[in-house]
Chain A
């Protein structure tokens, strides 16, 4: 986390010197300053993520992965010699804090782009700022709302999956396989609600029977009081629609209560860091979706290259799912800028829209109407046996190929197709 540790005074001193130097040069020759500018001005990418708070582990991994994208870009010569720089800020998982940091990044640090956020509410807050200021924002956490016309602007891009795609893919895989009687255990906020909606939409095609949607407050530490009722309902499948530590505790306690004996547990997003933190026992046999798992390197050369570079830069560790999004979010913008030959917003937007890319997880592209990255969803199952190493925790059991049919239609989001 070298970038985040940088004191703000360093930056202001440098820009002060830069301004003074430029001023001095301006007095000498208006020609030389143009050359100086082209070489000196780095491409700045603001990166607000929740370094502190419950998703700190994921956020730090996002920073590590974003550093990989920056390093690759700079080694390849940058944009005609212009290097890129990552400005990491802690948004503390708080929409207000995130909006303030984003505004500072734009006004004070003069960033060219913003990539980041790790919560539906926070990304909408950042997006509000960036769309008003006309700065491109590439969001790297899940949200359905960000695709909708009310929040969308041409400056808004969404590299992450959205709940509709994720829950949809998991539902399409699990409902025909494990049964039609479904119960939900849902964290009572936007993320949980959007995931349940995604499962329901996918379930319509299969004809699932919903037994109950049991809500719990975010940040719950005990689910034992909700589990006897779920057991009594006798569902075939229990969809556990929560995130982070809530997911870990819910899975652990459901395991203890013996729910796995006759109920298949599925989650929309099955978290890599969560699996490491909660252990094999709790996650054993659980199926979920993910935007990235390092194990896909057997299938995709781009994933192999990304993993290898990440391992080299970060003591042999592999990137997590949300970490990889940090890479994807920064990489796409830098490559689009390179394509456009400029960092000017309009030109980069056009280049992003034209991008057909495979940087780390197989083919992807941004849908024109809502700038949602169309990409594959991996269905993974947590395993306890035949682990090759500490990081080998999931089997990829299915892959839903990139397909616009699995997204909500442009019309239904309020866009003109």
Chain B
């Protein structure tokens, strides 16, 4: 291939990491919810989209992007709390497909409500002024905003890690993921833990949606395709594993990016090929625990 330089490959790798950052944010919420609640959350894409729309709404009210970064996860996370408390909680102990079907249906309801409230056409979402344009990162020009997305994902991950590893509530969450029954016997209100976990998961999904809005604009259907990719990431990383979600998210981003450079017609299939290969070698994914689905 003509014009193939190290700089181009480097830039392509970097593009893949930026792409992966959004996958990571989405997959981490999915993985957190699945690892704790064994709920396969098909509404995750809808919460992602909701994050972008709440951002559009707040901006129209006169808010700014930085305020949205805080407000959007809180607002959508709160909606997540309500969903867990009143829709998902009654289904615990009924088998994995009950909440799966519920969230699947819920995603349709949310998308349709957004269509009714905001219309089908979608909204523009300008890149915040401070982050507009491209900067020279030594190997070529790269959009400043995408660098910001990588950094934002890093901050969220660091915060989540500190929360889980360094707080007593985090300790309970980790214990609850390992053996909810023992935790319950020890007198911990597991229901409350699950509620919070679902809220955090949906809040992070909403943040991912808000971060993606300046990349591609906002439409009601934006959560569909990326949910599929996020599921691939979760499966490759191992269902329920946060570290797995991070590594697999970045890996999937890089694989998509490099395959679009070398074999563009394979770019769309490449992530599924990656999933197939990983599952053949390690059926539980990178860091998954076997038997979680059974």
Does B19 contact A222, Cβ atoms closer than 8 Å?
yes
Partner of B217, one of A214, A228, A233, A278: A278
Does A257 contact B216, Cβ atoms closer than 8 Å?
no
For A227, the chain B residues whose CB sits under 8 A away are: 15
Does A226 contact B260, Cβ atoms closer than 8 Å?
yes
Which of A192-200, A246-254, A366-374, A398-406 lies at the binding interface?
A246-254
B interface SS class: helix
Does A225 contact B15, Cβ atoms closer than 8 Å?
yes
Chain A interface category by residue count: 35 or more
Does A273 contact B222, Cβ atoms closer than 8 Å?
no
B254–chain A nearest beta-carbon distance, Å: 10
Q: Which interface residue of B5, B122, B126, B146 has the most chain A CB atoms within 10 A?
A: B122
For B264, the chain A residues whose CB sits under 8 A away are: 214-216, 226
**CB of B225 within 8 A of chain A?**
yes
Report how far A215 CA is from B267 CA in the complex, Å.
Answer: 11
Partner of A281, one of B11, B122, B126, B268: B126
Report A142-181 CB contacts with B as 1/0, cut-off 8 Å.
Answer: 0000000000000000000000000000000000000000
For B261, the chain A residues whose CB sits under 8 A away are: 225, 228-229
Partner of B3, one of A232, A249, A279: A232
For B16, the chain A residues whose CB sits under 8 A away are: 225
Report how far A45 CA is from B143 CA in the complex, Å.
Answer: 50
Report how far A200 CA is from B43 CA in the complex, Å.
Answer: 45
Partner of B141, one of A224, A252, A257, A281: A257
A90–chain B nearest beta-carbon distance, Å: 13
Nearest A residue (CB) for B260: A225
Does B5 contact A256, Cβ atoms closer than 8 Å?
no
**A residues 201-244 in Cβ contact with B at 8 Å:** 214-217, 219, 221-222, 224-229, 231-233
**CB of B256 within 8 A of chain A?**
yes
Does A245 contact B225, Cβ atoms closer than 8 Å?
no
For A245, the chain B residues whose CB sits under 8 A away are: 122, 217, 219
Report how far A245 CA is from B256 CA in the complex, Å.
Answer: 21
For A105, the chain B residues whose CB sits under 8 A away are: none
Known: A225-B256, A225-B257. A257 touches B5 (CB 8 A): no
Does A256 contact B127, Cβ atoms closer than 8 Å?
yes
Report how far A232 CA is from B215 CA in the complex, Å.
Answer: 21
**CB of B124 within 8 A of chain A?**
yes
A42–chain B nearest beta-carbon distance, Å: 31
Does B127 contact A221, Cβ atoms closer than 8 Å?
no
**CB of A258 within 8 A of chain B?**
yes
Report how far A62 CA is from B226 CA in the complex, Å.
Answer: 31
Nearest A residue (CB) for B215: A253
Does A228 contact B127, Cβ atoms closer than 8 Å?
no
Does B124 contact A282, Cβ atoms closer than 8 Å?
yes
For B143, the chain A residues whose CB sits under 8 A away are: 224, 253, 256-258
Chain B interface category by residue count: 35 or more
**A residues 344-363 in Cβ contact with B at 8 Å:** none
**CB of A4 within 8 A of chain B?**
no
**CB of A295 within 8 A of chain B?**
no
Does B8 contact A257, Cβ atoms closer than 8 Å?
no
**CB of B145 within 8 A of chain A?**
yes
**CB of B133 within 8 A of chain A?**
yes
Does B265 contact A228, Cβ atoms closer than 8 Å?
no
Known: A225-B257, A231-B141, A258-B133. A248 touches B217 (CB 8 A): yes
**B residues 1-27 in Cβ contact with A at 8 Å:** 3, 5, 7-8, 11-12, 15-16, 18-19
**CB of B121 within 8 A of chain A?**
yes
For A249, the chain B residues whose CB sits under 8 A away are: 216-217
Does A228 contact B11, Cβ atoms closer than 8 Å?
yes
Q: Which interface residue of A216, A221, A248, A252 has the most chain B CB atoms within 10 A?
A: A221
Does B146 contact A277, Cβ atoms closer than 8 Å?
no
**CB of A95 within 8 A of chain B?**
no
Nearest B residue (CB) for A221: B216
For A222, the chain B residues whose CB sits under 8 A away are: 19, 215-216
Does B216 contact A277, Cβ atoms closer than 8 Å?
no
Does A221 contact B15, Cβ atoms closer than 8 Å?
no
For A188, the chain B residues whose CB sits under 8 A away are: 265
For A217, the chain B residues whose CB sits under 8 A away are: 267-268
**B residues 202-234 in Cβ contact with A at 8 Å:** 215-217, 219, 222, 225-226
A149–chain B nearest beta-carbon distance, Å: 31
A188–chain B nearest beta-carbon distance, Å: 8
A204–chain B nearest beta-carbon distance, Å: 22
Report how far A219 CA is from B125 CA in the complex, Å.
Answer: 19
B107–chain A nearest beta-carbon distance, Å: 17
For A256, the chain B residues whose CB sits under 8 A away are: 127, 132, 134, 143, 145-146, 215
**CB of A56 within 8 A of chain B?**
yes
**CB of B123 within 8 A of chain A?**
yes
Report A256-281 CB contacts with B as 1/0, cut-off 8 Å.
Answer: 11100100000000000100111101
Known: A215-B264, A258-B143. A228 touches B216 (CB 8 A): no
B271–chain A nearest beta-carbon distance, Å: 12
B171–chain A nearest beta-carbon distance, Å: 38
B37–chain A nearest beta-carbon distance, Å: 29
A-B contact pairs, 19 of them (CB 8 A): A57-B120, A216-B264, A219-B225, A222-B216, A224-B215, A226-B260, A228-B8, A228-B12, A229-B8, A231-B141, A233-B3, A252-B215, A253-B215, A256-B134, A257-B142, A258-B134, A276-B121, A276-B124, A277-B217
Using A221-B216, A225-B267, A261-B134 as known contacts, list a sample of 19 further A-B pairs with CB atoms less than 8 Å apart, ordered by residue number in A.
A56-B121, A188-B265, A225-B257, A228-B261, A229-B3, A229-B261, A231-B140, A231-B141, A232-B140, A248-B217, A252-B215, A253-B216, A256-B143, A257-B143, A276-B124, A277-B122, A277-B217, A279-B124, A279-B217
Which 4 A-B residue pairs are closest in the complex by CB-CB distance?
A279-B124, A258-B134, A225-B260, A256-B143
